[in-house]
């Protein structure tokens, strides 16, 4: 479940978070290429406009570089032109329900979010409850946040301006989730590494 919210586009110029998210999408496309007999996956986006922007349907992964490029362009365009708002809860619930509806040895849902929950009065505990709604589906959340705004060169945010979620705020969200289900990435440049580690610690150890 990919965060394609407007804030991902807005703060991309500061820390490259949307660019890194697109890299993650490509990483997933390439990692599962050739393993369709063993793994099935889908990919959806969430934003203020929708909780379920279908990017990759089950058993229909992008098979060519052109297909992957078009998907990445679609993701970037959605983040740029979507409405403000947050559908993290609905997106997570829909993804868990969709994933759990198919027969499989293991079911996993990974939600990537820029942790902008407080702005929309979303309680971490509510998200945690949704993540545990189906015992057969293991759901995880990865939160992109900013460790230090002062380290962002060439960035000026006037007093009162909308700011990216801080590491402390993301930590509060993680603490409100079930143990081991939340992860924080304070450096979007290392998002790919974080995702690989999470995959290795969840999917691969159950293979």
Residue 194 confidence (pLDDT) above 50: yes
Integer angstrom CA distances of residue 182 from 27, 56, 133: 21, 24, 16
Q: What is the Cα 40 distance to its own chain's centre? A: 18
Q: pLDDT category, 119, cuts 50, 70, 90? A: confident
Residue 68 confidence (pLDDT) above 50: yes
Instruction: Tell me the per-residue pLDDT of 121-169, one tens digit each, with 9 for 90 and over.
Output: 999 999 999 999 999 999 999 998 876 554 444 454 544 445 677 788 8
Residue 35 confidence (pLDDT) above 70: yes
Predicted confidence at residue 158, as pLDDT, reads: 44
Tell me the C-alpha distance between 45 and 79, whole Å.
9
* Better-predicted residue by pLDDT, 7 or 153: 7
* Beta strands, E only, the chain: 2-3, 43-46, 53-56, 107-113, 137-144, 182-185
In which residue are the tokens 């390439």 written? 30
Residue 164 in contact with residue 14, Cβ under 8 Å? Answer: yes
pTM over 0.85, yes/no: yes
Task: Give mean pLDDT, residues 76-90.
Answer: 96
Q: What is the Cα 88 distance to its own chain's centre? A: 9
Q: What is the DSSP letter of 56?
A: E
Q: pLDDT category, 199, cuts 50, 70, 90? A: confident
Task: Give mean pLDDT, residues 84-104.
Answer: 96
* Better-predicted residue by pLDDT, 164 or 192: 192
Tell me the C-alpha distance between 84 and 200, whole Å.
34
Task: Give mean pLDDT, residues 26-34.
Answer: 92
């Amino acid at each position: 479940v990919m965060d394609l919210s407007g804030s991902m586009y807005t703060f991309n110029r500061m820390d490259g978070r949307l660019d890194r998210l697109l890299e993650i999408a490509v990483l997933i496309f390439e990692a599962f290429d050739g393993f369709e007999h063993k793994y099935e996956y889908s990919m959806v986006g969430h934003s203020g406009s929708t909780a379920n922007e279908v990017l990759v349907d089950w058993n229909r992964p992008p098979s060519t570089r052109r297909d992957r490029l078009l998907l990445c362009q679609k993701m970037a365009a959605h983040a740029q032109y979507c409405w403000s708002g947050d559908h993290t809860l609905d997106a997570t619930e829909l993804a868990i329900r969709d994933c759990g509806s198919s027969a499989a040895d293991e079911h996993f849902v990974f939600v990537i979010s820029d942790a902008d929950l407080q702005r929309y009065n979303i309680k971490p505990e509510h998200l945690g409850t949704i993540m545990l709604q189906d015992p057969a589906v293991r759901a995880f959340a990865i939160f992109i946040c900013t460790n230090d705004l002062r380290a962002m060169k060439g960035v000026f945010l006037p007093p009162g301006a909308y700011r990216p979620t801080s590491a402390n705020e993301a930590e509060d969200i993680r603490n409100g989730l079930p143990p081991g289900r939340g992860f924080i990435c304070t450096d979007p440049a290392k998002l790919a590494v974080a995702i690989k580690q999470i995959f290795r610690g969840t999917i691969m150890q159950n293979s």
